[in-house]
Amino acid sequence: MKLNSIFASFLVLFSIGLFVACDTDANEMGANIVGDDNFAFGDPEDFDFLAYNQALGPVETSNLAVQQLGVYNDPVFGKTTAHIVVQALMSVQPTNISYARVPVVDKVVLNIPYFSTLTYTDPDAETANTYELDSVYNKASKINLQVYESLFYQRAVDPETGETQKYYSDQIAAFEGAVGSTLLNDSELPEQNTEFIFTELGGFSEDEEGNKTKVGPSMNLLLNKDFFANKIMAEAASGNLVNNNVFVNYFRGLHFKVSQSGSDAGALALLDISKGTIKIHYHQYVSDPTPENPTPDTEDKIITLNLSGKSVNLKQHENTGTFENALNNAAPATGDAQLFVKGGQSMAVIELFKTKAELDALRQSVRNNWLINDASLTFYVDRDAMGSATDEPNRIYLYDINNKVPLIDYSTDQLTSFASVKYNKRSHGGIIVKEDGRGTLYKVRITNHIRKLMTNDTITNVKLGLVVTENINVTSNKSVKTPILLPQIDTFASFLLKDTPQMNIANPFGTILWGNTPGVPDDKKMKFTIYFTKPN
């Protein structure tokens, strides 16, 4: 009984400690956990490798889980302008529209929620709650936001290949050449269009009975009533609203076009566009007018269109000379001194063990009972090159290029975070470590990947890809528009790169990491370290 009591007490204390550790503030988690070397015991040895820059070119942006909208000026990498085109789907077929009852559109409201965290619930039912925005950058700055009808039909199937239709980030001309002539967010209020700001204020939603519900911060635009009266209400009996298959060909959705507002630098938000809605508020008579009752009472109605159809994220990149030069002068044969890793635009290719002789020697040592305790890659941020950049990728993601999958260390890491799902799999790592508010390093643990590589001479030493990620929990891929031939180097066969991780495309930020070429200072060089226990 006494032993059971002691064991139970230990479990309680351990659970409390684990909860506190997991509930650490997200901004501190990188510094407190990523640098933790609990597994790094034994004899450390650094091994050789190759790391070089690789431009991605235009990438597939069809139906992303997270889209970018706005203008973002990065002093290191350049300017990105991101637009969205999305299909609208009927939530239900609007069978309650009756021309005999004289329907009149009162207002049309476009709403797209922002990622946010509730910070204060106001007890007053008439006062909105307070929130903190997440994934909105330079939020005090304005943008010029224009919303048009899209006339571009987003196909489900590519007629040439019979496969799922893909659309790419650079297809701006094709989509902008197919927009309606009416500006839909044509309010006289400049904050609805020419001086739009991503506000963190909460708001209210309203149902048909006029009941209001508190909601989080969102894009909330008044759209042109006459357009929707003619486009939707007037078509109730035409057959164009019979189902969504017909509807998406008739009304092909919205085109969100952005540009800078005056001299403002611009702002950019990450959005889940599929959560957006268009609500057409209208009223009509409760019954058909008669000679005895020519003006019956009216009732309020709402038609809801969900922005959950197919979408594409269009992007314009104006790279800095430094970034452009790095991409154009990558050195696959010798490696690059600086690794420019930018969301949706570039990656680093890493080849562990430069020669087969080095790999074979290590495999022999493992056969001679060397135990691998820990293996990791440490990437140091070139803080001078990053200069005045205030936004840095919170996390990097290392994956198997050949097979387009995460490393085994990712798959076996089941650690989760109470603070944010973006800090899950923190033992595998890749989370930024900061000093004085600026990034200093990223560390990725690859112990099981190296152990697996040592177990069998026939296992391929695959090329590794390093990208930034917006969400470590999503590992699906999207295509690059033009496949890239990665060259053969020593034991690494050439490989045709056709994909990049989806969450790399979603992240707007970039970082410059030190490589491991001879000119890099020893204390800044990227390191590939393995800790061993060796037999006496």
B/e letters for 201-229, b = 16+ CB within 10 Å, e = fewer, are ebbeeeeeeeeeebbbbbbbbebbbebbb
d(CA 472, CA 442) in angstroms, rounded, equals 14
Structural domain total, the chain: 2
Residue 94 is predicted with a pLDDT of 80
Q: Is residue 72 part of a domain?
A: no
pLDDT > 70? residue 10: no
* Mean pLDDT score across all residues of the chain: 90
Round the CA-based radius of gyration of the chain to a whole number and report it.
Answer: 27
**Does 350 or 233 have the greater pLDDT score?**
350
d(CA 474, CA 461): 24
3-state SS assignment for residue 47? coil
Q: Is residue 312 part of a domain?
A: yes
Distance set, CA 105 to CA 223, 279, 307, 331 (Å): 11, 11, 20, 61
Q: Is the dihedral of CA 319, 322, 325, 331 positive or negative?
A: negative
Q: What is the per-residue DSSP string for 226-280?
A: HHHHHHTGGGTTTSTTS-HHHHHHHS--EEEEEEE-TT----EEEE-GGG-EEEE
pLDDT at 488 over 90: no
CB contact at 8 A, 462 and 491: no
What number is the average pLDDT over the span 348-366? 92
pLDDT at 39: 53
In a domain, 38, yes or no: yes
Range with the lowest mean pLDDT among 37-46, 94-103, 461-470, 490-499?
Answer: 37-46
Predicted confidence band at 173 (pLDDT cuts at 50, 70, 90)?
A: very high
372: domain range?
Answer: 30-59+321-533
Q: Which two tokens stand for residue 366?
A: 């493992």
State how beta strands 67-74 and 78-86 pair. antiparallel
Between vectors from CA 180 to CA 60 and to CA 178, what angle results, nearest 5°?
Answer: 40
**Domain for residue 483, yes or no?**
yes
Q: Quote the DSSP letter at residue 336.
A: -
The C-alpha atoms of residue 38 and residue 201 are separated, in whole angstroms, by 43
Q: What tens digit of pLDDT does each residue of 281-314 get?
A: 999 998 898 888 988 989 999 999 999 999 999 9
pLDDT tens for 371-411 read 999 999 999 999 999 998 889 999 999 999 999 999 999 99
How does residue 2 score in pLDDT terms, banded at 50, 70 and 90? Answer: very low
Residue 162 and residue 232 in one domain: yes
Taking only the tens place, the pLDDT of each residue in 80-132 is 999 999 999 999 888 778 777 889 999 999 999 999 999 999 899 888 899 99
Q: What's the DSSP call for residue 49?
A: E
100 and 36, same structural domain? no
Contact 311, 85 (CB under 8 A): yes
Q: Do 437 and 304 have their domain in common?
A: no
- Co-location of 167 and 258 in the same domain: yes
Q: Which amino acid is at 1?
A: M
Mean pLDDT in residue range 134-157: 96
Q: Are 294 and 332 members of one domain?
A: no
- Residue of 226, 223, 282 lying closest to 105 (CA atoms): 282
Same domain, 261 and 385: no
- Do 152 and 84 touch, CB atoms closer than 8 A? no
Number of residues written out for the chain? 536
Whether 39 contacts 447, CB under 8 Å: yes
Instruction: Flag whether 358 is in a domain.
Output: yes
Share of the chain above pLDDT 90, in %: 76
What is the distance between the alpha carbons of residues 353 and 359, in angstroms, rounded to a whole number? 6
At 535, the pLDDT band (50, 70, 90 cuts) reads confident
Distance (Å, rounded) from C-alpha 47 to C-alpha 410? 22
Shared-domain flag, residues 172 and 297: yes
Per the domain annotation, does 261 fall within a domain? yes
Q: What is the pLDDT of residue 22?
A: 33
- In terms of phi and psi (left: phi > 0; alpha: psi -120 to 50; beta: otherwise), the region of 266 is left
Do 281 and 352 fall into the same domain? Answer: no
- Per-state percent for the chain, helix, strand, coil, to nearest 5: 20, 40, 45
CB within 8 Å of 349: residues ≥ 6 apart:
51, 52, 53, 54, 332, 401, 463, 464, 465, 466, 486
Per-residue pLDDT at 162 exceeds 90: yes
3-state secondary structure of 342: strand
Nearest to 92 by CA among 279, 231, 234, 262: 279
Half-sphere exposure of residue 458: CA atoms within 13 angstroms, side-chain side? 0
Tokens of 13: 């204390």
8 Å CB contact between 465 and 333: no
* DSSP conformation class of 435: E
Residues 242 and 334 in one domain: no
Look up residue 523 and give its two tokens: 């204390």
Q: Is 25 domain-assigned?
A: no
Is 179 a domain residue?
yes
Please, which pLDDT band fits residue 40 given cuts at 50, 70 and 90? Answer: low
Confidence of residue 29 (pLDDT cuts 50, 70, 90): very low
117-121, 163-167, 209-213, 340-344: which range is least confident on average? 209-213
- Of 296, 316, 336, which closes a domain? 316
| Integer angstrom CA distances of residue 361 from 47, 203, 490 | 12, 64, 16
Q: Report the range of poorest mean pLDDT among 252-266, 435-449, 480-494.
A: 480-494
Same domain for 51 and 184, yes or no, is: no
Pick the residue with more confidence: 519 or 40?
Answer: 519
Same domain, 172 and 265: yes
What is residue 38's predicted lDDT score, i.e. its pLDDT? Answer: 53
Domain boundary, last residue among 262, 284, 316 = 316
pLDDT of residue 206: 81
Give me the pLDDT at residue 493, please.
Answer: 85
pLDDT at 294: 87
Instruction: Read off the tokens for 82.
Output: 């991101």
Give the N- to C-terminal CA distance of the chain in Å, as an integer.
Answer: 43
For tokens 């409760």, name the residue: 286
Domain boundary among 264, 282, 316: 316
Report the C-alpha gap between 55 and 61 in whole angstroms.
Answer: 17
Pick the range with the lowest mean pLDDT from 204-218, 275-289, 364-378.
204-218
Rounded Cα gap, residues 174 and 171, in angstroms: 6
Amino acid sitting at position 213: T
* Domain co-membership, 96 together with 231: yes
